[in-house]
């Protein structure tokens, strides 16, 4: 159990270097979710705000029209795309999407682990604790945003598609699908950091509930396997 001097800032380091210690430390501090949540949202939002202020926007509009609109539909869609796509609207839309999606994922993940605990281990843990758990387990996704900044800083020009910022995505690493191809969206959503998140969830679930690490790993991986497995089967 964490001692009285243990803080949320200690947990920021430990969730990466010593996850078991981090989960022990945050278990009784439900309100600590705000720190990883704010950092995660700030970095993800900051990346896209910086990207849209940096990218050659006229080039980006042309790239979007060329890669995401079928040639036969371009004439009918071009005016709408141009009226919607501008740096300010793209920044605002991106930040709102990140905030909403982040909260939604954490809420659903917390509900899943809350129910999984009730049905398997039966540990005395509240939904609020599981929300805190989700915020910390997903904190390592910040490395995706950090990698995106590195891509921008190392780019030879400001004509760079946004999907190139997703360094750890399956599409960037293995699939290399173009935006209109069937596997593009799936490959963009699935990324290697998910494996790290699953591992952290498994460690945390085991520490909090007393379940075996094998059982915890299955519980932690199940939603991802089902969601992305079913999605892949439908492509």
For 124-155, what is each residue's pLDDT tens digit?
A: 999 999 999 999 999 999 999 999 999 999 99
pLDDT tens track for 34-63: 999 999 999 999 999 999 999 999 999 999
Residue 151 · residue 164 · CB < 8 Å:
yes
Q: What is the pLDDT of residue 78?
A: 81
3-state SS string for 192-205: CHHHHHHHHHHHHH
Predicted confidence at residue 1, as pLDDT, reads 47
Are the beta carbons of 170 and 144 closer than 8 angstroms?
Answer: no
pLDDT at 30: 95
| Residues 83, 146: Cα–Cα separation, whole Å | 31
CA distance 109 to 124: 18
Give me Rg for the CA atoms of the chain.
20
What is the structure's pLDDT at 66?
87
Note the pTM of the prediction, 2 decimals: 0.93
In this predicted structure, what is the pLDDT of residue 170? Answer: 97
- The Cα-based distances of 27 to 60, 97, 138 in angstroms read 45, 29, 15
pLDDT at residue 68, as a whole number = 81
The predicted structure's pLDDT at residue 152? 98
- The SS3 of residue 169 is strand
**Sequence-distant (≥ 6) Cβ neighbours of residue 134 within 8 angstroms:** 33, 105, 106, 109, 110, 113
pLDDT of residue 3: 61
pLDDT < 70 stretches in the chain: 1-3
83 exposure class (CB count in 10 Å sphere: 0-12, 13-18, 19+): exposed
């Amino acid at each position: 159990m964490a001692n009285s001097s243990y803080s949320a800032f200690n947990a920021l380091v430990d969730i990466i270097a010593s996850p078991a210690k981090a989960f022990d430390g945050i278990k009784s501090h439900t309100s600590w979710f705000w720190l990883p949540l704010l950092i995660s949202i700030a970095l993800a939002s900051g990346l896209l705000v910086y990207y849209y202020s940096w990218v050659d926007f006229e080039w980006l509009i042309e790239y979007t029209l060329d890669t995401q609109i079928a040639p036969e539909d371009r004439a009918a869609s071009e005016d709408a795309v141009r009226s919607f796509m501008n740096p300010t609207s793209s920044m605002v839309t991106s930040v709102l999407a990140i905030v909403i999606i982040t909260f939604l994922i954490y809420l659903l993940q917390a509900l899943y682990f809350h129910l999984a605990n009730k049905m398997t281990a039966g540990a005395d843990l509240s939904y609020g604790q599981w929300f805190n758990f989700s915020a910390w387990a997903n904190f390592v996704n910040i490395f995706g945003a950090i990698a995106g900044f590195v891509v921008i800083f190392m780019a030879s020009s400001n004509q760079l598609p946004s999907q190139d910022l997703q360094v750890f995505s399956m599409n960037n690493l293995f699939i290399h699908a173009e935006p209109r191809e069937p596997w593009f969206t799936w490959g963009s959503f699935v990324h290697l950091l998910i494996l790290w998140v699953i591992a952290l969830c498994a460690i945390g679930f085991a520490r909090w509930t007393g379940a075996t690490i094998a059982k915890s790993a299955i519980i932690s991986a199940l939603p991802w396997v089902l969601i992305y497995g079913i999605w892949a089967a439908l492509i």
